[in-house]
A = this chain, B = another copy of it.
Amino acid sequence: MKTFAFIVTLLVSSAAAAQVLPSWNDGAAKQGIVEFVKAVTAKGGKEFVRPADRIAVFDNDGTLWSEQPLYFQFVFMLDQVKASGGPMPDPHDQKALLAAMGKATSGMTVAEYDRKIRDWLAKERHPKFKRPYTDLVYKPMQELLAYLRANGFKTFIVSGGSVEFMRPWAEKAYGIPPEQVIGSQQEVKLEMKDGKPVLTRGPNFAFVDDGPGKPVGIYRSIGKRPIAAFGNSDGDLQMLQVTAAGEGRSLVLIVHHDDAEREFAYDRDSHVGKLDKAWDEAKAKYWIVVSMKSDWKKVFSFEK
């Protein structure tokens, strides 16, 4: 039995080596990821981390799927405000948009709201790609998520977006179940309707999981410091800093949108997904900066 197990192990690991992150070009970024994973999973190694502490956190918009020309959730939210007949806020004034959105969906049950999101995602198409928004997930990041989980990591989304907008599709797209999706939270309260307890939405946000809110969201929902964090914008900076400040080895990575042809190119001057301070810090601290253009063989699964 031992020999048999040994042969199986050999076969599995050589097959695995060939298949690691196939949509990533060989280069510093891929190498940095693979070396980190080897270091923290090597039994008896100095940098070994027990599986329970292999926590990896991923921003969503711009890190796992696209976010241009406007965060997809904002497009959805503007449609809700429009449908409610309320005055239209400036889509780049986040505070005004959240307030208008809170008002537009206040009083709905969470089930009603969930239905609106699912219907919208099924029907709407992205202006550039003419495809459902949920097609715009990055294939290399899907592979990275799967690779980390195959190495004993527990993967979480930590997004400025609302949990409601991600949970319906994150399991299929990313293999991340609803209970591992951390995000912004609108108020909800328990009420009785037709003799049944239901949760209804209030008009205000109870928690905004962005910038300095991300480490708070991680503390509240996970209660452990991540050892790996993935982002693409200044809204992720504090999450990346907290991860990097851990005692053991950590992996901190930023996705840089520099591929106008296959996706979009933007950074320091963008309204959406601005990458400025976090980029400077990445350079100073030698965090991994992924060039979508040169590090990724494919951006989307649907590419030829």
Is residue A238 contacting chain B, with contact meaning CB distance below 8 A? yes
Give chain B residues whose Cβ lies under 8 Å from the Cβ of A52. Answer: 171, 177
Contact flag A197-B163 (CB < 8 Å), given A212-B190, A221-B221, A223-B181: no
With A and B bound together, what is the CA distance between A154 and B188 in angstroms? 24
A211-234 contact mask (Cβ, 8 Å, vs B): 1 or 0: 010011001111110000000000
CB-contact partner of A212 in B171, B189, B221, under 8 A: B189
Is residue A134 contacting chain B, with contact meaning CB distance below 8 A? no
Besides A163-B220, A197-B238, 20 more A-B contacts (Cβ < 8 Å) are A52-B171, A52-B177, A55-B179, A154-B179, A167-B223, A178-B223, A178-B224, A179-B180, A179-B222, A188-B216, A188-B219, A189-B212, A190-B215, A190-B238, A190-B242, A197-B241, A197-B245, A199-B215, A199-B219, A221-B221
Q: 8 tightest A-B contacts by CB?
A: A178-B223, A190-B212, A179-B222, A197-B241, A167-B223, A197-B242, A196-B245, A190-B215
Give chain B residues whose Cβ lies under 8 Å from the Cβ of A171. Answer: 52
CB-contact partner of A178 in B179, B215, B222, under 8 A: B222
With A and B bound together, what is the CA distance between A181 and B55 in angstroms? 16
* Copies of this protein in the complex: 2
A215 touches B242 (CB 8 A): no
Q: Which of chain B's residues has its CB closest to A237's CB?
A: B197
CB-contact partner of A216 in B163, B199, B212, B219, under 8 A: B199
Give chain B residues whose Cβ lies under 8 Å from the Cβ of A241. Answer: 197
Interface size classification for chain A: 35 or more
Is residue A185 contacting chain B, with contact meaning CB distance below 8 A? yes
- The residue in A189, A212, A221 that gathers the most chain B C-beta atoms within 10 A of its C-beta is A221
CB proximity to B under 8 Å, residues A238-259: 238, 241-242, 245
With A and B bound together, what is the CA distance between A80 and B52 in angstroms? 31
CB-contact partner of A219 in B110, B180, B207, B238, under 8 A: B110
